[in-house]
């Protein structure tokens, strides 16, 4: 397989109240129904398209220069490729210069390649799901689609990467996973991902737990000042390091297991509580 694993970047980078990375999430509607899906993706999932209001909020929140990265993920972006292509064009028209990543299962290869080719700056790349690309733990994508994507990557090195092989206990989780037992499982330390802006207008702290509505993850909404989002994100990281991880270690639990099954035993990040108290007051 020609695809290389996408390498992570520095965590928690914020400059002038702008995040280095931001995930955009339009829902979990998908053309697959994988038992391990972290967002509960399925053909019956929900979907709400990207809008000007949603994208303008993203542009106020993420770094606009070459250092920034916006990631389209969720269910399957190619199901509404026209809206994704429009969203990329809008971001570029408004001056966004950073990278764009499309997280896809690759099944609709032609649509995915059309999305990549649509970027006038040529800085949109794809990241394929590890299990679906390799067939380890899920039915592999159709041979024709795989050959198309491999051919494109061969001609455009770095355009298409493959996601990490780690099995994450989030969403439907690892319990029903049928892939290789040797694949790494997440440990007690949260990977500290960048947050999510949903098309429902909410900022959520974790892309893996996006369908978890707990107050522990709620950073704000489209009406929140960018400085508030940035501060809440800092508070969330502090909470992860001082509350969440010690609990995971003490109880010998993977980080995601704590979030899905034990959050009722952990306080909401302190900064969140203070902000809400001020609003309520």
Per the prediction, the chain carries an average pLDDT of: 91
pLDDT for residue 178 = 64
Separation CA 254–CA 247 (nearest Å): 10
Phi then psi for residue 21, to 5 deg, are: -135, 155
* Arithmetic mean of pLDDT, 156-170: 86
C-alpha closest to that of 47 among 79, 23, 70:
79
Separation CA 73–CA 207 (nearest Å): 9
Enumerate residues 6+ apart whose C-beta is below 8 A from 154. Answer: 2
Bridge pairing between strands 202-204 and 196-198: antiparallel
Judged against a pLDDT cut of 80, whether residue 218 lies above it is answered with: yes
* Arithmetic mean of pLDDT, 252-279: 80
Distance of CA 4 to the CA centre of its chain: 19
Residues 7-46: pLDDT tens digits? 889 999 999 999 999 999 999 999 999 888 889 999 999 9
The string of DSSP letters for 85-150 reads HHHHHHHHHTT--SEEEEEE--SSHHHHHHHHHH-TTS-EEEEE-HHHHH-SSSPPPPHHHHHHHH
Selected residue with higher pLDDT from 164 and 174: 164
Separation CA 95–CA 21 (nearest Å): 16
Beta bridge partners of 218: 204
Q: Which of 161-165, 236-240, 270-274 has the lowest mean pLDDT?
A: 270-274
- 201-219 burial string, b = 16+ CB within 10 Å, else e? bbbbbbbbbbbbebebbbb
Answer yes or no: CATH 3.20.20.70 is held by domain 4-280: yes
3-state secondary structure (DSSP) of residue 161? strand
Separation CA 151–CA 146 (nearest Å): 8
Separation CA 115–CA 94 (nearest Å): 18
* Arithmetic mean of pLDDT, 61-73: 98
pLDDT for residue 253 = 87
* Counts for the chain of helices (H) and strands (E), in that order: 9, 11
Judged against a pLDDT cut of 80, whether residue 236 lies above it is answered with: yes
pLDDT for residue 281 = 45
The string of DSSP letters for 5-35 reads EPPP--SS-EETTEESEEEEE-B-B-S---T
Judged against a pLDDT cut of 70, whether residue 277 lies above it is answered with: no
Q: Which burial class, exposed, middle or buried, applies to 160 when counting CB atoms under 10 A from its CB (0-12, 13-18, 19+)?
A: buried
Confidence label for 137 from pLDDT (cuts 50, 70 and 90): confident
Give the number of other Cβ atoms within 10 Å of residue 13's Cβ: 14
Separation CA 125–CA 116 (nearest Å): 6
């Amino acid at each position: 397989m020609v695809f290389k694993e996408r390498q992570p970047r520095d965590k928690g980078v914020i400059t002038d109240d702008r995040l280095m990375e931001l995930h955009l999430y339009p829902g979990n509607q998908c053309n697959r129904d994988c038992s391990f899906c972290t967002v509960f993706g399925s053909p019956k999932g929900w979907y709400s398209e990207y809008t000007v209001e949603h994208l303008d909020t993203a542009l106020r929140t993420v770094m606009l220069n070459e250092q920034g990265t916006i990631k389209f993920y969720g269910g399957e972006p190619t199901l509404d490729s026209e809206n994704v292509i429009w969203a990329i064009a809008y971001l570029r028209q408004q001056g966004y210069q950073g990278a764009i990543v499309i997280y896809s299962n690759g099944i609709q290869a032609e649509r995915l390649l059309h999305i990549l080719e649509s970027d006038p700056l040529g800085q949109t790349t794809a990241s394929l799901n590890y299990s679906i690309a390799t067939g380890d733990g899920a039915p592999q994508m159709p041979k024709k689609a795989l050959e198309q994507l491999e051919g494109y990557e061969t001609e455009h090195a770095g355009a298409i990467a493959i996601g990490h092989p780690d099995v994450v206990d989030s969403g439907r989780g690892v319990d029903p996973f049928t892939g290789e037992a040797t694949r790494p499982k997440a440990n007690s330390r949260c990977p500290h991902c960048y947050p999510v802006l949903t098309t429902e207008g909410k900022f959520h702290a974790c892309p893996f737990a996006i369908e978890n509505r707990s107050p522990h993850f709620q950073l704000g909404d489209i009406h929140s000042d960018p400085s508030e989002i940035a501060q809440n994100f800092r508070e969330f990281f502090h909470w992860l390091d001082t509350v969440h991880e010690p609990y995971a270690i003490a109880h010998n639990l993977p980080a995601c297991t704590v979030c899905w099954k034990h959050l009722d035993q952990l306080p909401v990040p302190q900064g969140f509580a203070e902000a809400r108290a001020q609003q309520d007051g």
